[in-house]
Structure 1
Amino acid sequence: MTHSTIFCDFDGPIADVSERYYLTYRQGLDHLQAITIATGDELPIRHLSKAQFWTFKQNRVPDRQIAHWSGLEGSQIDTFLDLVSGLVNHPSLLRHDQLQANAYAGLSMLQQCGVRVVLVTLRPPDQVMQFLAHHGLENTISDLYGMSATQAAYQNQVHHKLERLQTAIAAQQRQGYALTATLMIGDTEADILAGQALGMDTVAVTCGIRSQSYLQSLRPTHLVPDLWTAAQCLQQQATLGRR
């Protein structure tokens, strides 16, 4: 296959974090409400539905705006955002991460085609490995580059992903792997912009935390629904390349 090694994000292409992020949002509001009730007050909180919340996240509506639309003002928003930041990686919420519907099939196809999948994520490596082991996917991953900071994935800074991707590429090259025809697969601007900055082809998947229209505006090389479709496209390209 043309791409013998590819780089791939974890959240989005493989892990569906939508339930965890929504429950974190709900718990953050409820905790803030409990705090204000304890001081003799009560907030006019409005819980957005999961569909509303996830649509806003996919279209990069700022968290402060989401908090405002949920009934918060001023310093209440700051307190809420601090609560969310502290809650999002709690073990009781991490267990709500789910496997994307077609991720298993996509990773299996890539493995069968002899493609090495190197994960480049802003999640702590132990979280990723626990998830992969739970779903029987640890053997489909050739290498993993994550971050120790538990908040990095939620903040999703482009410069963090660029640094991790640079580290991963350099390490793979030192191990003797040829990366002349590699690419980056991901679901956010951090993945696509990091890949583009390093001159790589990029594959944006729309099953994650960014909408199709937003991802299209980043001009990725390919725009596909999920990892399974990405694997099919790579297989087709390899077949055409051998003719």
Structure 2
Amino acid sequence: MLRLITDFDGPIMDVSERYYRVYLFCLEEIRYPHQAVRQLAKAEFWQMKRSQIPEKQIALNSGLDETQAQEFAQLRRKTVHTESYFEYDSLIPGAVEALLKIQQAGVDLAVMTMRRVKELDYACQKYDLGRFFPENRCYCLSNDYVKTRDIEDKPLLMTRALAELPPAADTWMVGDTEADIAAAKKHDIKVMAVESGIRDRTQLELYYPDLIVPDLNTAVNFILESRVSTSSSNT
């Protein structure tokens, strides 16, 4: 059996609008009355996020002072995963088509995400994604889970998944961050990083994934083509 384990935000969901709306909210909340600030355009802001520019530096670049930058970073951390902002997420173009393609090819499909149950359920219901990810193929955080760092939490999810899922002859992980790459590498799973998420190519290269591809659709095509060529060479 061939299996694909995919991250959710990045390969499937575009979170850039949510992050940008939270940035705008935090900037407005933290600025002093009548203080002149430099509101970053969404493209500039998102490129900073993808380059892993720290939150405090983004605040300083926007015209806040050192004290405000600290407050900005704290408020942003408290706000970015709150319920009212998840409505700004949208599907990555081509992601649903990619999931359909891999499902119809008979590949076992699972999702592994740092979202909490309620956050994953919200998006799955809104975009009818439950047809790809039944409950026994969803690996996410419980609603009361106390997060540490994604790069530590995600390998724990992978450990749980591999203990619970039926054995597979071949497994690929697809994700958009160093946490996905770390989770796969810890368990000797091949990993493809996508450029459609919250890390740019330069950041992804630092963690040596097996491949870097533009998006989930390209990843799926590669996996299916590899399977065809493998089965051809075995005949």
TM-score by length of 2: 0.91
Deviation for aligned residue 1:231: 0.8
1:228 matched to 2:221: no
- The one-letter amino acid of 2:163's match is A
Query: Does structure 2 conserve the Cα–Cα contact (< 8 Å) formed by 1:125 and 1:144?
Result: no
Query: Does structure 2 conserve the Cα–Cα contact (< 8 Å) formed by 1:85 and 1:151?
Result: no
The 1-side partners of 2:229 and 2:146 are apart by 39
Aligned residue in 2 for 1:16: 14
Aligned residue in 1 for 2:206: 217
The 2-side partners of 1:145 and 1:211 are apart by 25
Deviation for aligned residue 1:62: 1.1
- The one-letter amino acid of 1:113's match is A
* Secondary structure of 2:115 counterpart: coil
- The one-letter amino acid of 2:173's match is M
Query: Does structure 2 conserve the Cα–Cα contact (< 8 Å) formed by 1:60 and 1:210?
Result: yes
Give the % identical residues: 32
Q: Deviations over 1:118-152 (max 9, x none)?
A: 11111012221221222122111241111135898
Q: How does 1:56-67 map to 2 (within 5 A)?
A: 56-67=48-59
* Secondary structure of 1:140 counterpart: coil
Q: How does 1:118-197 map to 2 (within 5 A)?
A: 118-142=110-134, 143-148=137-142, 157-172=150-165, 177-197=166-186
Aligned residue in 2 for 1:29: 27
RMSD: 1.9
The 2-side partners of 1:163 and 1:179 are apart by 19
TM-score by length of 1: 0.88
Query: Does structure 1 conserve the Cα–Cα contact (< 8 Å) formed by 2:56 and 2:72?
Result: no
- Equivalent residue in structure 1 for 2:95, among 92, 103, 116: 103
The 2-side partners of 1:146 and 1:163 are apart by 10
- Equivalent residue in structure 2 for 1:239, among 228, 231, 235: 228
Q: Deviations over 1:177-230 (max 9, x none)?
A: 113421211001110122112211001010001112221232211211111111
The 2-side partners of 1:20 and 1:152 are apart by 22
1:81 matched to 2:80: no
Unaligned runs of 5+ in 1: none
The 2-side partners of 1:161 and 1:201 are apart by 15
Query: Does structure 2 conserve the Cα–Cα contact (< 8 Å) formed by 1:204 and 1:215?
Result: yes
Query: Does structure 2 conserve the Cα–Cα contact (< 8 Å) formed by 1:8 and 1:119?
Result: yes
The 2-side partners of 1:144 and 1:151 are apart by 16
The 2-side partners of 1:50 and 1:156 are apart by 26
Q: How many residues were matched structurally?
A: 230
* Secondary structure of 1:182 counterpart: strand
* Secondary structure of 1:121 counterpart: strand
Deviation for aligned residue 1:106: 0.8
Unaligned runs of 5+ in 2: none
